[in-house]
Amino acid sequence: MRTAKRTKSLNIVPLDEDRASFELTLEDRSYDDTGGELIHLLEIKGLISLPELEILEIEPKSYHQPYAECSAGLDPVRKMVGARIGAGYRTRVFELMGRTLGCTHFMTLLLDLASAHTLTTFLRMRARVPLPQHKTPISDWLRIGLEIEPRLENACTALRTDSPIIQNTRKQIAEPPV
């Protein structure tokens, strides 16, 4: 029986307070009893501004795709320069890459780049305060997070406005410890 596996990654490296580099990769492989075969191997590297998350530079590379025509999917990726990761980002990706305009595999990577918001926010938080360990109060951590990115509130079920986590953090902000 033949199986298939997709492996994707996003690596964020802060360069300074104003910029971070990113590298996205996608590898598709197929396997059977005789071994594996490469289907796709793609990469996108670039540079984003902080905290705005504007794409300053972007360069796609195709190391392996099944058809020569797949190379036409590179140019639409390059048109993402100037796009901001945030409201409207997904729409912009679909406008440039949707259906026959680009490569669905590169589109998948560009959609994954939206995670740069989470990762860069974490890195900025972590630069100011250690990550709390299991069962450690997280109010300091989240207070810093809300200072850096107020949209953390209501970003997920754990951080909804009425959650104990947000309520305790709001209380700490209102009444700082002496």
Q: Which residues contact 31 (CB under 8 A, 6 or more apart)?
A: 2, 3, 4, 5, 37
Question: What per-residue confidence (pLDDT) applies to 176?
Answer: 64
* Full 3-state SS string of 109-143: HHHHHHHHHHHHHHHHHHHHCCCCCCCCCCHHHHH
Question: What per-residue confidence (pLDDT) applies to 19?
Answer: 97
| Chain segment 101-110, per-residue pLDDT in tens | 999 999 999 9
Question: What per-residue confidence (pLDDT) applies to 28?
Answer: 97
Q: Which has more confidence, 9 or 139?
A: 9
Mean pLDDT across 78-103:
95
Q: Which residues contact 97 (CB under 8 A, 6 or more apart)?
A: 73, 76, 77, 103, 104, 106, 107, 110
Q: How far apart are the C-alpha atoms of 24 and 110, rounded to whole Å? A: 8
